[in-house]
Amino acid sequence: MQPFKLFAVLLIASLLFACKSPTQGVIADQAMVVTAHPDASAIGHDILRMGGNAYDAAIAVQFALAVAYPRAGNIGGGGFAVIRTADGQSTTLDFREKAPLAASETMYLDELGKPIEKLSTLGHYAVSVPGTVRGMWDLHQKYGSIPWPALIEPAYYLAKNGVVLTEAEAKKLNDFQEAFYSANDHAIVTLKDNGWQAGDTIVYQELAATLKRIQEQGVTDFYEGQTAQYIVEEMQRNEGIITLEDLKKYEAKWREPLTGKYKDYTVISMPPPSSGGICLLQLLQGIEAAGIVQAEHNSPAYIHMLSELERRAFADRATYLGDADFYPVPIDSLLDPEYIAENLADFDLESATPSNSIKAGEVNVVESIETTHFSIVDAKGNAIALTTTLNGNYGSKVMVKGAGFFLNNEMDDFSVKPGVPNMFGLVGAEANKIEAEKRMLSSMTPTILEKEGELFMVVGTPGGSTIITSVFQTILNVVDHGMTMQEAVNAKKVHHQWLPDRILHEPNAFSKQTKAALEAMGHTFEERTYIGKVDAILVLPDGRLEGAADPRGDDVAMGF
């Protein structure tokens, strides 16, 4: 096969076939792809231009991100996809990682029952069974229209010939040099003694060879073949617990989407083991139940309302949500209008509700994370919202010797111990305890909206616990505040997650007067450099598409 012409259609083509204004994203007539990295967007765009559908493009983008955006793009992690076909049918694909067969409820606790620091986040013991390759294979089997090898070729070519680092990617690699040294017993390609700089090129030779095997042998290589052997050998050398049996037994799952209404819109999102769909629908229904829908954007009343709704949704998340294959998640009850109204019975327009009066718990820290999301709509109207992750930046920081990719640290997304926070400050209970072959609870919230039965929005974001609230606010920004898709993505965001009991906010999210008014209500604050990196697509009234790439990252929208 001839090398795929990765850069045959780049940003210049985007400008030729689409236009952009200061208040709008990229506007295109037929198709759009929005991802976290320019190379991945160019690859997805090329697949669409050559006649591939949205699902072909998603597969090519996923593998490209594993090369160009290794802090979150992956073949060693997992994720979720929400799908809506051109004829209005919707489904979801769960390729979330699973706990190994040898996993146990107390595996991260010492003899006194206390969590052992970093054991669930750094190194081989933190790794769960990856689902990405199986997920992409199953997506292709059901919806693919271009041969599998052609969809892997762009990522293979990129790995073989090298990725040019952006300034943000160079900085991120430099930030984790010490962790790379700590987690690996061999030299890895992302280590560099004098640090990385923007414009440097990384050639991923081992990863290229892995992608070539996956290209030629399909899913079998990753879960039973040479790549599987590399993973197992990596585990055996370093006291990891993933076995060949774990890999062979892994399956992705097609699941019925969660759907609900907000005003005239139908919201289609992920069911458990994602908490995103339930929490998002609770929040949207909560706004209508509270009867406060006209508050000015990021005014004291608006931020107070969001915070009160969010603290209640996240308290429910910690108490009731987990893998529904293992635990009877009360989905219908949590989304019952009577329950949502009852949950808001103590909602006070003038004062904050102390989180410890809702449910008990203790959280002291929320760390930065990296997930990645992309949104795609093709020329026929097929759409996919896909969110994928390694959990923390570069996951467990372990790169598989001989295979050249990072493994996840998703085991930390379980409740290591009920009431004890994970790396994102989220607490959990019995529903999310560690069990063999169980999928850990996630905040990923890939979502599609319909208006009057037609495709309206494709949206999602990285951000750990802030994923849910970022998607929530982005939807409100368009539906309630009349923003363009780009304005909605750019808008400053706030976040509350029950515990810690404070409002997280971006710089300049609101005025000093607004902060003073909220403090008078009893709210406290913590500033975060950014919250979420939303990549979204909006169908405009005339049928054209607006692709909005988040300026908080290197994200790019491309359409034609």
Q: What is the pLDDT of residues 308-364, one digit of tens each?
A: 999 999 989 988 999 999 999 999 999 999 999 988 888 888 899 888 877 533 333
Residue 36 tokens read as: 């976290």
How far is CA 49 from each of CA 54, 56, 359, 441, 557, rounded to the nearest angstrom?
Answer: 11, 11, 52, 36, 14
Task: Round to whole Å and give the CA distance between 123 and 453.
Answer: 47
Task: Round to whole Å and give the CA distance between 475 and 455.
Answer: 14
Q: Is 371 a catalytic residue?
A: yes
Q: What angle do CA 156, 157, 161 make, to 5 degrees?
A: 120
Residue at 16 is within a domain = no
Task: Round to whole Å and give the CA distance between 160 and 278.
Answer: 41
Whether 16 has a pLDDT exceeding 70, the answer reads no
Q: Which residue has the tokens 């967007």?
A: 41
Task: Round to whole Å and give the CA distance between 469 and 383.
Answer: 22
Q: 2: pLDDT confidence band, cut at 50, 70 and 90?
A: very low
Q: Are residues 130 and 69 in the same domain?
A: yes
Residue at 87 is within a domain = yes
Task: Round to whole Å and give the CA distance between 60 and 52.
Answer: 10
Residue at 149 is within a domain = yes
Residue 293 tokens read as: 């829908």
CA nearest neighbour of 257 among 447, 88, 388, 460: 447
Is the distance from CB of 40 to CB of 69 less than 8 angstroms? yes
CA nearest neighbour of 9 among 37, 56, 44, 35: 44
CATH number at residue 511: 1.10.246.130
Residue at 440 is within a domain = no
Tens-place pLDDT, residues 358-407:
753 333 334 445 799 999 999 999 999 999 999 999 999 999 999 999 99
**Portion of the chain with pLDDT greater than 70, in percent:** 92
Whether 48 has a pLDDT exceeding 70, the answer reads yes
Residue 450 tokens read as: 């319909």
Q: Are residues 57 and 190 in the same domain?
A: yes
Q: Are residues 168 and 74 in the same domain?
A: yes
Is the distance from CB of 395 to CB of 190 less than 8 angstroms? no
Task: Round to whole Å and give the CA distance between 411 and 409.
Answer: 6
Q: Are residues 137 and 250 in the same domain?
A: yes
Whole-number pLDDT of residue 85: 98
Task: Round to whole Å and give the CA distance between 555 and 515.
Answer: 31
CA nearest neighbour of 419 among 429, 434, 432, 410: 429
Residue at 553 is within a domain = no
Residue at 418 is within a domain = yes
Task: Round to whole Å and give the CA distance between 135 and 512.
Answer: 47
Residue at 267 is within a domain = yes
| Rg value, the chain, Cα | 22
Q: Are residues 299 and 418 in the same domain?
A: no
Q: Name the 3-class secondary structure at 411.
A: helix
Write the secondary structure of 353-380 as one string of H (helix), E (strand) and C (coil): CCHHHCCCCCCCCCCCCCEEEEEEECCC
Q: Are residues 339 and 385 in the same domain?
A: no
**Residue 3 preceded by cis peptide, ω within 30:** no
Tens-place pLDDT, residues 187-219:
999 999 999 999 999 999 999 999 999 999 999
Q: Where are the beta strands (DSSP E) in 272-423?
A: 371-377, 383-389
Average pLDDT over residues 62-74: 98
Q: Are residues 399 and 415 in the same domain?
A: yes
CA nearest neighbour of 503 among 525, 520, 470, 473: 525
409, 432, 455 — which closes off a domain?
A: 432
Whether 153 has a pLDDT exceeding 60, the answer reads yes
Q: Are residues 197 and 98 in the same domain?
A: yes
Average pLDDT over residues 63-70: 98
Task: Round to whole Å and give the CA distance between 58 and 122.
Answer: 29
Q: Are residues 202 and 124 in the same domain?
A: yes
Average pLDDT of the chain to the nearest whole number: 92
Q: Are residues 375 and 303 in the same domain?
A: no
Tens-place pLDDT, residues 228-283:
999 999 999 999 999 999 999 999 999 999 999 999 999 999 999 999 999 999 99
Lowest mean pLDDT among 1-10, 53-62, 87-96, 384-393: 1-10
Read off φ and ψ for residue 415, nearest 5 degrees. -80, 100
Residue 159 tokens read as: 């790995």
Whether 13 has a pLDDT exceeding 50, the answer reads no
**Portion of the chain with pLDDT greater than 90, in percent:** 85
* Alpha-carbon torsion (320, 324, 328, 334), positive or negative: positive
Annotated catalytic residue within 35, 243, 353, 371: 371
Q: Are residues 219 and 305 in the same domain?
A: no
Average pLDDT over residues 466-495: 97
Task: Round to whole Å and give the CA distance between 33 and 385.
Answer: 10
Q: Where are the beta strands (DSSP E) in 249-408?
A: 253-255, 258-262, 265-269, 371-377, 383-389
H/E element holding 448?
strand 447-451
Q: Are residues 279 and 424 in the same domain?
A: no
Task: Round to whole Å and give the CA distance between 58 and 48.
Answer: 10
Q: Which residue has the tokens 């209404």?
A: 261
Is the distance from CB of 386 to CB of 379 less than 8 angstroms? no
- Residue 467's domain comprises 257-367+463-545
Whether 427 has a pLDDT exceeding 60, the answer reads yes
Whole-number pLDDT of residue 141: 98
Lowest mean pLDDT among 60-74, 348-362, 524-538: 348-362
Residue at 386 is within a domain = yes
**How many CA within 13 A on the CB side of residue 285?**
24
Whether 424 has a pLDDT exceeding 70, the answer reads no
Whether 423 has a pLDDT exceeding 80, the answer reads no
Domain count along the chain: 2
Average pLDDT over residues 16-27: 68
